[in-house]
Structure 1
Amino acid sequence: MEQLEEQIAHLTRAVDDLSDTVARQDTEIATLTRRVEMLMRREAARDSDGGGSVTLGDERPPHY
């Protein structure tokens, strides 16, 4: 009986630890999602303004 109680205590601790980890990850995912959405809106606004074209590595510069 004592062995079962000890095993249950370890399993309960593991479940609590995993629950805390999942809760922390949920908060981090929500924060990162908001940041990505903000960056996408900012980039969309920049594209619609027509400002700042980016020269890619395989494109020739405009002076050629």
Structure 2
Amino acid sequence: MSTPHPLEQRLIDLEIRFSFADDLLDTLNAQVARQQDLIDRLRAEVAELRRRREDEPGGEPRSLRDELPPHY
């Protein structure tokens, strides 16, 4: 078996590096898509919580002191 020409070896090395980079790009794109889905769900949840808070009777903001346990 003969060793490839240096230029051919460089091309092979570049193709290998490109395939790893392409795989990494696909992985990162999938992760970004999952994160965007999570962000969208969290935004919807926050909007729903805000809507519920506004719909509560006596919709004025509560003080954090109202939330303290009685032993404080």
Q: Which runs of 5+ in 1 are unaligned?
A: 58-64
After TM superposition, where is structure 1 displaced by more than 3 Å over at least 4 residues in a row? none
> TM-score normalized by structure 2?
0.67
* Alpha-carbon spacing, 1:55–1:22, altered in 2? closer, same or farther (3 Å): closer
> TM-score normalized by structure 1?
0.75
Aligned AA (2:65): L
* 1:19 has 2:29 as partner: yes
Give me the CA root mean square deviation. Answer: 1.9
Q: Which runs of 5+ in 2 are unaligned?
A: 1-10, 67-72
* Alpha-carbon spacing, 1:55–1:25, altered in 2? closer, same or farther (3 Å): closer
Q: Between Structure 1 and Structure 2, how many residues are aligned?
A: 54
